Structure 1
Amino acid sequence: MKKSYLLLLFLVFGKKTRAQENTNTTDNPVKIGKSIFSNETKRNFSRKGEIFVHWGYNHSWYGKSDINFKGPNYDFTLKDVVAHDRQSPLKWNYLNPAKISEPQYNLRVGYFIKDNYSISIGWDHMKYVMDIPQKVAITGHIGETISDPGVPTGALAGTYNGEMINVTPQMLTYEHTDGFNYANIEIERYDDIWVAPSKQTSLTLETGIGGGMLVPRSDVRLFEQGRNNHWNVSGYGFSAKIGLKFYVTRGLYFQNTTKVGATNLKNVHTTGRDDLDKASQKINYVQNFFAVGYQF
């Protein structure tokens, strides 16, 4: 009798378990986003509803840019200005929370709205340094004194129509070094390239587009008049990116991404007389960053 009772329980439990398995695989399957790559092994979990955060460091390359300077008794443009980034050498002391933001860095937090789509907010801290000295073409007008109170301009006073001049520190220094900050919102798509048999380790292609505001802190000296200015919303930008995420575990990942961007800065602080003097420019850039992140 006891054996018959145990056999009946086993059959009922086994039937119930198989029914649950069938429900999970047919009625309520895990919804995993389609990948453009063919994978023999696929994840058995969805990323929908998960949050990710990562931190990393970047290098940037800038296209030549025209910079317009405008204020009382002057309105001139320097053509095809060359500039570079200024990444600090990586040191162990950057693990100190007080120093972690000194180099050029990327911080991003995102949320998976679907298994293979996320929306995120980020802060790209880049640095832009105009090469000084350099020879450039100049157009426009420079008075004998500029701004108010007047700043003497010496031999550079005059009207220009494309002549070449040598820009020296006595005329100009121009940097966004604290920094060339891009506060942005991005939408990302993910395609699994490879999934390990464990289904926890994987390599994923990330692509995305975004847009946002440029919030530079510009250090400018125009005819030796200026300062390291306040942070200000100077303009806007758009970007697109492509990169790889390597998930060591389901949560921990390493990322390398290349981003291209176009920005329009309409109100750059220069001499510190913000109601009088300003600069404007359009900067195109390529950025590559390496980051460590976690997804949960």
Structure 2
Amino acid sequence: MPDVVVFGSLNTDLVLDVPVLPAAGQTVLGGRLRVHSGGKGANQAVAAADAAGPTGPAVRMVGRVGDDGYGRRMRADLTAAGVDTGGVTVDSNEPSGTALILVDAAGENVIAVAAGANSAVDVDDARRAAAGLGPGDVAVCQLEVPQPAVRALVVAARAAGARSVCNAAPAAALAPDLLAALDVLVVNESEAGAVFGTQIRTPEAAGTAAGRAGCAVVVTLGPAGAVFAGPHGRPGRCPAPTVPVIDTVGAGDAFVGALAVALAGGTDLATAVGAGVAAGSRAVTRSGARPHAVDRGRKPVDADLTEGAGK
């Protein structure tokens, strides 16, 4: 059975609900501090493990955490989700990555991220992630770790005969040679603008972008589903089902994880995009960025354990 290797970020999200977002110099009293394991890389690894289930591809996470309570907790959460954490290095020189998130009563938010150990991810980490990759395997990456490391992973995956999927988030420009070395680029509308300098909402526009990039391009459109095209294939659209929306956080990561698992299972791009849309649609019907451990029949890790988390 092929493997899915996720290379990228691990963060701890510190979330505080406030009545209003504070202005400069203003102090606002909030509710209970919530602590959740996050980071786009780790979220996508959990989503892939959820999509794979007990009989699908093995999912391995490669990245860095600090030698602190947050790092220990993030690794424990990944293990509870069925992700192999043997590739998660403990960095004694940097704290674990942390995201500080304020959410007001209307659902608007402000986020500040301290990259911590994620900023130290390097080419050697990418080589570790690529070790053992072969035909049929899928390597997944994002842009919350330095781009030179992302480039090294993509090049190494291509040399090993594995496929690579890059979710260009946070939005950033990508060098033409990096795009050409990719197999699948996944972006949302705003990220597509950063990569291609233009809006992509139709299959035809996705086809044009794929031709320019030299790789398959998938653009997620929220409730409108997704459009996609290979560099030489026929472009297509996958509509999303109508579902009750509870929380859109994590829908994109659910999409990427499920798409990667489908590709590792040997499906074509259209089928893999369909699997991603289905997973993203399920994700918005529940609260939080990840599937709940109890939903998968695994022992949950306490999501509200805050005391001593950073020690």
TM-score w.r.t. structure 2 length? Answer: 0.24
> Which structure features the higher share of helix residues?
2
> Which structure features the higher share of strand residues?
1
Larger radius of gyration: 1
TM-score w.r.t. structure 1 length? Answer: 0.24
